[in-house]
Amino acid sequence: MNQIIKIFIACILIAFALVATAQNITQNITGTIRDNVTGEPIIGANIVLVGSSPITGTVSNIAGQFLLEDISVGQVSLKISFVGYRTVEILNRELRPGKTLDLNIFMEEMVVTGKEVVISGTIDKKGSLNTMTSVSSRTFTVDETRRYAGSRGDVARMASNYAGVQVATDSRNDIVIRGNSPSGLQWRLDGMEIPNPNHYGAFGTTGGPVSILNNNQLDNSDFLTGAFPAEYGNSLSGVFDLRLKNGNSTEYEFMGMVGFNGFELGAEGPFSKKSDASFIANYRYSTMEIFELIGMTFGTGTAIPKYQDFSFKVNLPTKKLGNFSLYGMGGKSKIQFLDSERDTSEVEFYGGEGWDLKNGSDLIVVGLNHVMHINKTAFVKTGLSYSYHHFYVNQDSIVPESKEIVPYYYSNFKENRVLFSTFLKKRVNQKNNFQAGIAINYYVSDMYDSIFQEKQNMFNSITSYKGSSNLFRPYITWQLKLNHRLVFNAGVDYMFYTYNSTSNIEPRFGVLYNTSQNSKISMAYGLHSQILPTTAYNRETYLGPGHYIQMNKDLALQKSHHIVLGYDYNITKFIRLKAETYYQHLYDVAVNANRNDEYSLLNQGADFYVWSPDTLKSTGTGTNYGLEITVEHFLNKGYYFLATGSLFESKYKGSDNFERNTAFNSNYVLNLLAGKEFVLHKNSANPKLLTKKRTLGADIKLNWAGGRRYTPIDKDKSKIEHRPVYITDKTFDYQFPDYFRTDIKVYFKHGGKKSNYEMGIDVQNIFNNQNIYSQNFNTSTGEIYNTYQLGIMVIPYFRIEF
């Protein structure tokens, strides 16, 4: 701890030494204004800097673009207006030295009924970028992923602060949405579905210890938690609809950062001053070796995580051929947990007593998008992407007495995906618009794993599959704006999986009623389905030496009915109250077919593997229902807070048809976040003309949730068998004590004429609460003991932009 504090103080002294001579600090604001349905540029929109005197403003050009030059840095607000459209207010966005603020703004055409013209303003109150969404959605910004204490720049950990969402454990960023398995989440990047975007990401899971996604490259994006529109298929619980931002098309900008996630370098800029073509790229390399040297632990014991990742986007607009964009991301990670060399005082989430484990993963995603405007009322967007995902595990057992290392488990899973998507979106008239499209996923899998059977003295195959399959998903969505108060959204999605010719028709419906300018009620229903992990379909049943059979090939798609009712009220311009209640029924869930027991695939997905019996049947069910409350003060005058509370039940039935708690039924979650920034220096003669900008800020997060569910260990039977033996008729009946954690972040920002830097310390679990992770059995002593989640973590970071 003392070493970390010394390092941070040294960084502060170095930073102050770098302060430039006094100059007025200004920066530019750029952006593009488009119709929120057709994407057509809006020409001649008025853009005004709120609070400027004299008034500072401009109008959008023929491409919908605008530029505000030499704006004093700090929190800025804009008002955008255009005849026939609702006024949009962008509030309190951070304008930083050395970094142009680039905004993508979408305006909504007003509905004119008879002679009545309704003019009302809209503010970015965290609705949804997707105009077809009725409930359970929120837009988030890259600023939020940086701002929230404990988020580590990770969008998944950031989203765990929202109502109805929680991180499964400290060790990974898998998120549980309304009691669902994390596997029910879908990740999308620039409109295309992508594999698990996390280092050490196993097949069938959606999380991991460290995210590959670089938040420095994200634009405003959507997060949906239920009853989503028909364009989102192959998901049961939620969708991260992430969008990559375009690089600066006028100036070159650079970024460097060191923190928990690694050493980062970034660059963006134009290809040519004569066009709007631009690029942005980021690279990151793990810093875990350095943190380990100064005594920090991350639940990996003596094992050092090693990883690196990259991301990029190239934007190529043309005058006649439409807009092309090429994007990509990738990551490589590996680690070794050697219990044969482990310090027994170290806590390990990822390894295990009596095992040597070697694990790694590789991910590559590359995509090409094209947008062509047919006319002012319609456009076509087409995307093609390729991804490669590789995950491997080598696990050896250690004989307690002799310490002999015996091979036990081996896996090598590879999957290539080629995805194609195209859709037409058209405004028919002021009241009606629709979107119709198709998504085609082509999977090529090469999967093998085996386990050593001591009685047979041989390795038996668990999975052995090489093959390909397709997922076809045509859909159509339609929106009717009956008037300025009442909006209907409807659609249907069809899924057909060629692997076993399973299919499902999925109707979606939503309605939104604006009771006033400041409040609305909404309701939505949706039938959703999802294919199973490829590993579950291809589990093999051992019939005898050299003889195996696949029993799970004909499993149905897992399905879910969503019903959500919501109320949203803007108490003031900056304070919002939101409440939602929901009911979810899951069916055709994979459960054990060999015998009547407690197994269900709904309890999988929050670990480095998805385990399933070799014989499954699609007869299981599940039920989730609850109430969520959000009270939020949006950032204003350097201050914000977010309070979310969730009460819920999450139940399931296995093949024994007995209702139990799911592994994720913690029953309640409460999050409290708050932050404040203080400006330390202004020019005394004219406060609006900054010579330097120095800001001190602090953020705090409190998380209180029900404890993890667990199945108790039978101590006597475990002693006899020299392994943990669980009391299966008590599966998830027991619950650990409540989870409580407090995170605090303190930071300092300095802005000069051409650059800015930020340094800080993120202290996670500052009170060192001993939250229980799991119950375990010690084979040497014959005693049951608890493993605890992460204790206090002090993470310094430094970031510079120029």
> pLDDT tens across 207-248, in order?
999 999 988 889 889 999 999 999 999 999 999 999 999 999
Which pTM does this prediction carry? 0.89
| pLDDT confidence tier of residue 737, bands split at 50, 70 and 90 | very high
Which two three-digit tokens encode residue 185? 């989440």
Instruction: Give the pLDDT band (50/70/90) at residue 767.
Output: very high
pLDDT for the residue 8? 47
Mean local confidence (pLDDT), 60-67 = 91
Q: What is the per-residue pLDDT for 173?
A: 92
Instruction: Give per-residue pLDDT as tens, 696-717.
Output: 999 999 999 999 999 999 999 9
* Rounded distance between C-alpha atoms, residue 290 and residue 304, angstroms: 10
Indicate the SS3 state at residue 570.
Answer: strand
Whats the size of the chain, residue-wise? 802
Model confidence over 144-154: pLDDT tens digits?
A: 878 888 888 88
Mean pLDDT on 78-97:
88
Alpha carbon 248 to its chain's center = 25
The model's confidence at residue 295, banded by pLDDT at 50, 70 and 90, is: low
Whether omega before 54 lies within 30 degrees of 0, making that bond cis, reads: yes
Three-class DSSP category at 673? strand
Q: Is 541 exposed, middle or buried (0-12, 13-18, 19+ CB in 10 A)?
A: middle
| Distance, CA of 121 to CA of 123 (rounded, Å) | 7
CA distances from 405 to 400, 695, 709, 752 (A): 10, 56, 33, 58
pLDDT score of 272: 84
First to last CA, the chain: 31
At residue 305, the pLDDT reads 85
Report pLDDT for 336. 86
pLDDT reading at 739 higher than 60: yes
**What separation in angstroms does the CA of 626 have from each of 34, 270, 647, 654?**
37, 49, 5, 22
Q: Residue 1: its pLDDT value, please?
A: 47
Cα Dmax for the chain: 90
Average pLDDT of span 679-686: 60
Residue 54 burial (10 A CB sphere; 0-12, 13-18, 19+) = exposed
φ, ψ at 294 (rounded to 5°): -100, 15
Coil vs helix vs strand at 766: coil
Q: How far apart are CA 557 and CA 477, in angstroms?
A: 22
Contact criterion met (CB below 8 Å) for 255 and 160: no
The amino acid sitting at 128 is: S
Whether pLDDT at 114 is above 70:
no
Q: What percent of the chain has pLDDT over 90?
A: 58
Q: Which residue's structure tokens are 């097949």? A: 203
Smallest CA-to-CA distance from 517 within 569, 466, 455 is with 569
pLDDT score of 682: 54
d(CA 176, CA 163) in angstroms, rounded, equals: 11
468 pLDDT higher than 80: yes
Amino acid letter at 357? L
* 663 has pLDDT over 60: yes
Classify 200 in phi/psi space as left (phi over 0), alpha (psi -120 to 50) or beta: left
Given the DSSP bridges, would you call strands 558-570 and 547-549 parallel, antiparallel or unpaired? unpaired
Closest among 82, 89, 122, 97 to 27, alpha carbons compared: 97
Q: Which of 24-38, 186-200, 671-685, 784-798 has the lowest mean pLDDT?
A: 671-685
* Helix (H/G/I), strand (E/B), else coil: 234: coil
Contact predicate 743/676, CB 8 Å? no
d(CA 155, CA 151): 7
Residue from 47, 36, 132 nearest 89 by CA = 47
Q: What is the per-residue pLDDT for 350?
A: 57
**Residue 533 phi, psi (nearest 5):** -60, 140
The most confident of the ranges 166-170, 403-407, 562-566 is: 562-566
> For residue 19, what pLDDT is reported?
41
Among 630, 714, 529, which residue's Cα sits nearest to residue 223? 630
* 2 against 333, higher pLDDT: 333
Write the single-letter amino acid at 453. Q
Question: Range with the lowest mean pLDDT among 299-308, 582-591, 725-734?
Answer: 299-308
Structure tokens at 338: 């050697």
pLDDT per residue as tens digits for the range 482-494 = 988 999 999 999 9
Residue 458: pLDDT above 90? no
Cα separation, 440 vs 417, whole angstroms: 10
What is the rounded distance in angstroms from the CA atom of residue 51 to the CA atom of residue 523? Answer: 38
In order of 421, 424, 476, 486, 511, the CA distances from 489 in angstroms are 22, 17, 11, 10, 6
36 vs 528 pLDDT, higher one: 528
Task: Check pLDDT > 90 for residue 110.
Answer: no
Residue 195 CA to residue 330 CA, distance in Å, equals 11
The number of CA neighbours under 13 Å toward the Cβ of 530 is 26
Q: Detail the DSSP E strand segments found in 96-216.
A: 101-107, 112-113, 116-117, 121-123, 137-140, 165-167, 175-177, 185-189, 192-194, 198-199, 210-211
In angstroms and rounded to an integer, the radius of gyration of the C-alpha atoms of the chain is 27
Residues 6 or more apart whose Cβ sits within 8 Å of residue 29: 49, 67, 68, 71, 76, 78, 95, 100, 101, 102, 103
Unique residue bearing structure tokens 């995902």: 389
Token pair of 639 as six digits: 């201050």
The answer to whether 245 touches 103, Cβ cutoff 8 Å, is no
The average confidence (pLDDT) of the chain is: 88
Distances (CA, A) of 790 to 468, 490, 607, 794: 41, 45, 16, 11
The least confident of 13-17, 202-206, 235-239, 605-609 is 13-17
Query: For residues 597 and 168, which has the higher predicted lDDT (pLDDT)?
Result: 597
- Residue 623 reports pLDDT greater than 90: yes
